[in-house]
Structure 1
């Protein structure tokens, strides 16, 4: 129960729930975003047809509102030559105008003419009718039509004249013709046809009215012009201003029997106006065509949603990694406290036993005094060494001290260390080589700690029959290279990056007690502190080599 209470609590269930929730929201957001874009595309498909309609019909509207009224500038004095020039300009610029009939009209009160339309004393009749159209060589051809040939268009002439004479009844000196009235009187629209008569001046209209109402007027002759434009709506150029929405746009008759399968096609239409009213604009797109546009617009949205999703997943990963690292740190610190307690407990216990023995003994011999004094001194040194190591490690790690560098002869530095090794570990097969030309500039106290840690490890992590250590001190052009080679139990390669971390302990039979996981971390901090580098190379059950690389000192004199 106590062990479970000391364990680091890792609430992975909450983290998994967070990841699952984020993933569900990601999928829902993706589906919702695509659905919204699909609905938007369908709405846009139905709405933007007006833009295509306006751009496609614009040339016809300009022709109808701007070009046709130019006829009135001539005030009825157009002849066949001028009419041909005007028609040539119209028919070449507007492909939907297939042919044009020009009526050279006379308005008179004469009784000698039998043709035309007579209303009271006013007679309106065509002196000539000329048809203009382009031939196969794209040349304008003018053909004078006889009365029998114009019967097909008699109704258009009669309708225009009847509106005209009807308007004369309403003309007064104060008459001002509005655009609406001009449109009603001087234009006649029917399927595929636009008729237009030039607009006379008010004075001429009053003169026509007098001729119509009285027979006592002298015989006079007035000229009027009328044009009948034959329109082919299918030749209107379609301007698809939304090619990403409309795969195909056609001009079709209103009664067209074109049927599409609604499961596979999106379709909408608009009727054409006025003289084009027998036709419609039909907009059609296949499902696969619109899906391309949906996917094109969905791509940046999906990318944005994906970025947010992966950011959240990355945050979840960071939380997971933090939990895992904290769990490992908790375990390492827990082990560190246990081992540190053991390290302190042993010398403290020995000191306490020695103290109790001294206290309980009535009389101590000189030999016993020396023995207990030596024990107390040794155990105090152990405690002091352990505390100094912890304090030094903390100071170095926090950079609260500066290295006390001094120039030292390599052989003079190594000699007392190697002599102490032989005395401390008489069963260790120890050897060394020193081949250098320069002095070292180092903090001797810190470097001594590194040597002691690596020598102690070589002895500690070797089996009794394989206690071997060779220290090789060499020099190259830039550095001192110091190798500590043993024949111990070795270290697995997967642990090479971990052995220099604080509180980390390699799990083996030699490391169950008495290690707090600071030795190699302490060595690395010191070497880094002095501007050097420490490396490890090891093979399990064959041995380990630690290599120190330290910068060169000044050359010997």
Structure 2
């Protein structure tokens, strides 16, 4: 028996435990770092993603300011109340944050004084009529005043402020250089809190004339049409687009001076100013920490899954390494035992043959009785060696499919009786009985079937106590299959060993195996049965006996 230390393979459980423990610690540490990374990343997102929400939420305003407002200039100052009403209706319908639009039908004259507007030099800008438009406005409230009405300075205060800005810009205008669209847009627009005033932008040649009108009286006495629209805005009507609904629980438009009452540590808050005409307002973000934690976990779990997969791979590698070492250890032990037992099996008959040969050589004369005795000894031991070599050769040939299956018809009764005769002659104390039913002959390979019978019979004799060496063989036809049973009254096989007995070189450790066994008998039987397209199974009770069942195809 070889020890683990001598075998060259040592199952170092401590090293495996240390390895698994180390990767487990790394795994737990990685999970901790991954969670902190996820938490930090989501907290940073809470700050940075506000800009995305603001950008998406004010897109309608940007479209209104950059695309819709410039359309006023397309009318070149010739908007009337009806056209202005249609134009503003589209604005009120499309942009919910526009509450009211005031339309100023104005004109630029070469006068020193304008009652309904402002003058600078000989250039004056005044209103002819003013209209207001809203979603639900009474019809008698649409027109604020006309050309012959008394003007309330409060009604044209916004108009005068933007007119002054316009005249100031024209007075400083460099007529040798065409102004950019940005310069024109900024000087013809007045942006205040919740309000935008916009003059239609005249062409450059008209601006040159405006500049001349400021300088003095022109002979042509020109008059130019100008339109101004004033838009009242409501920031609370902006449609907030929450681009991160799993991050921001609630977003609202509040004044810049808004100070929330609930400043509990259970909440995370943030804010960002709207800007432009809404600069007095901000977007206020608030989320419960428990709400944000869900987003943290949604970010963390995929990372954790990858870490778990990597950890599982490492554990699997450790297991496979251990299993491989364990298998190598077992295979080394089996091979060692095989070589030892095979050597013993060969050594015994070789020693007997050598002793018999020496006796014959050293004897001056042998009697007839001695000659027969030595001849029988040499014959038996040679048969042992030949049988062992044939079994090894046959086993190798069957494993490698190097032989073909013969198909000969046999008489089952004659075949069993010949087997019984051989083994009772060899072992006079071996009691073998049999019975058959359902068939008489069938086609099979008689040599392989004989090897199967011989191995099972030898095992029944070897592993039975003295005076209990019995074997009962049955052969029956069941559903077009030949069922063979070999039932002995031997020592039996422990249930823990049942799954191992058909493995090559495997030997059950008991007193009957002390004299040597190569562990090929039952493995050889299984290979034979498989080669014959059959099945083999075993039932056993310790100290009561074992029954082998073989099922073979019936060919006839």
Q: TM-score, normalised by structure 2?
A: 0.88
Offset of residue 187 of structure 1: 1.0
Judged with a 3 Å threshold, the aligned counterparts in structure 2 of structure 1 residues 487 and 150 are, in CA distance, closer, same or farther, namely farther
Task: Give 3-state SS (helix, strand or coil) of 1:531's partner.
Answer: coil
Does structure 1 retain, via aligned residues, the 8 Å contact 2:112–2:120?
A: no
Judged with a 3 Å threshold, the aligned counterparts in structure 2 of structure 1 residues 160 and 400 are, in CA distance, closer, same or farther, namely same
1:9 is aligned to 2:9 = yes
1:313 to 312, 315, 323: 315
Offset of residue 406 of structure 1: 2.1
Match of 1:252 in 2: 254
Does structure 2 retain, via aligned residues, the 8 Å contact 1:265–1:285?
A: yes
Equivalents in 1 of 2:92, 2:254: separation in Å?
22
Q: Equivalent residues in 2 for 1:195-344 (5 A)? A: 195-202=197-204, 204-214=206-216, 222-258=224-260, 261=263, 263-344=265-346
Match of 2:75 in 1: 74
Does structure 2 retain, via aligned residues, the 8 Å contact 1:490–1:544?
A: yes
Match of 2:142 in 1: 142
Equivalents in 1 of 2:376, 2:361: separation in Å?
16
Offset of residue 203 of structure 1: 5.2
Offset of residue 221 of structure 1: 5.6
Name whichever of 292-301 and 192-201 sits farther off.
292-301
Does structure 1 retain, via aligned residues, the 8 Å contact 2:492–2:544?
A: yes
Equivalents in 2 of 1:440, 1:40: separation in Å?
79
Match of 2:511 in 1: 509
Match of 1:358 in 2: 360
Match of 1:523 in 2: 525
Match of 2:183 in 1: 181
Q: Equivalent residues in 2 for 1:120-131 (5 A)? A: 120-131=121-132
Does structure 2 retain, via aligned residues, the 8 Å contact 1:132–1:140?
A: no
Offset of residue 509 of structure 1: 2.7
Does structure 2 retain, via aligned residues, the 8 Å contact 1:133–1:141?
A: no
Equivalents in 1 of 2:266, 2:251: separation in Å?
16
Task: Give 3-state SS (helix, strand or coil) of 2:434's partner.
Answer: strand
Equivalents in 2 of 1:401, 1:140: separation in Å?
114
1:450 is aligned to 2:452 = yes
Judged with a 3 Å threshold, the aligned counterparts in structure 2 of structure 1 residues 140 and 527 are, in CA distance, closer, same or farther, namely farther
Offset of residue 271 of structure 1: 2.2
Match of 1:537 in 2: 539
Equivalents in 2 of 1:130, 1:316: separation in Å?
85
Q: Deviations over 1:63-117 (max 9, x none)?
A: 2222223333333333333332322222222111111222233444568965543
Equivalents in 1 of 2:23, 2:34: separation in Å?
16
1:62 is aligned to 2:57 = no
Q: Deviations over 1:514-547 (max 9, x none)?
A: 3221111111112222222222111222211112
Structure 1: stretches of 5+ with no match in the other structure = none
Offset of residue 440 of structure 1: 2.8
Judged with a 3 Å threshold, the aligned counterparts in structure 2 of structure 1 residues 544 and 126 are, in CA distance, closer, same or farther, namely same
Does structure 2 retain, via aligned residues, the 8 Å contact 1:439–1:553?
A: no
Q: Equivalent residues in 2 for 1:344-423 (5 A)? A: 344-423=346-425
Q: Deviations over 1:359-398 (max 9, x none)?
A: 4434332222222222222222222222222222222222
Does structure 2 retain, via aligned residues, the 8 Å contact 1:133–1:140?
A: no
Equivalents in 1 of 2:150, 2:40: separation in Å?
59
Q: Deviations over 1:8-37 (max 9, x none)?
A: 422424433433333333334433444444
Does structure 1 retain, via aligned residues, the 8 Å contact 2:72–2:200?
A: yes
Task: Give 3-state SS (helix, strand or coil) of 1:240's partner.
Answer: coil
Equivalents in 2 of 1:197, 1:223: separation in Å?
11
Match of 1:480 in 2: 482
Q: Deviations over 1:478-535 (max 9, x none)?
A: 2222211111221122322211111212222322223221111111112222222222
Task: Give 3-state SS (helix, strand or coil) of 1:464's partner.
Answer: coil
- How many residue pairs match? The answer is 553
Equivalents in 1 of 2:4, 2:179: separation in Å?
103
Structure 2: stretches of 5+ with no match in the other structure = none
Equivalents in 1 of 2:407, 2:218: separation in Å?
138
Equivalents in 2 of 1:518, 1:547: separation in Å?
18
Q: Deviations over 1:253-312 (max 9, x none)?
A: 222213775854444433223212111233444433333333323333333332332223
Does structure 1 retain, via aligned residues, the 8 Å contact 2:114–2:125?
A: no
Task: Give 3-state SS (helix, strand or coil) of 1:469's partner.
Answer: strand
Does structure 2 retain, via aligned residues, the 8 Å contact 1:462–1:488?
A: yes
Judged with a 3 Å threshold, the aligned counterparts in structure 2 of structure 1 residues 327 and 149 are, in CA distance, closer, same or farther, namely farther
Q: Deviations over 1:304-354 (max 9, x none)?
A: 332332223222222222222222222222222332233233323333333
Judged with a 3 Å threshold, the aligned counterparts in structure 2 of structure 1 residues 150 and 362 are, in CA distance, closer, same or farther, namely farther
Name whichever of 142-151 and 400-409 sits farther off.
142-151
Name whichever of 514-523 and 359-368 sits farther off.
359-368
Judged with a 3 Å threshold, the aligned counterparts in structure 2 of structure 1 residues 379 and 208 are, in CA distance, closer, same or farther, namely closer
Task: Give 3-state SS (helix, strand or coil) of 1:229's partner.
Answer: strand
Task: Give 3-state SS (helix, strand or coil) of 1:16's partner.
Answer: helix
Match of 1:440 in 2: 442
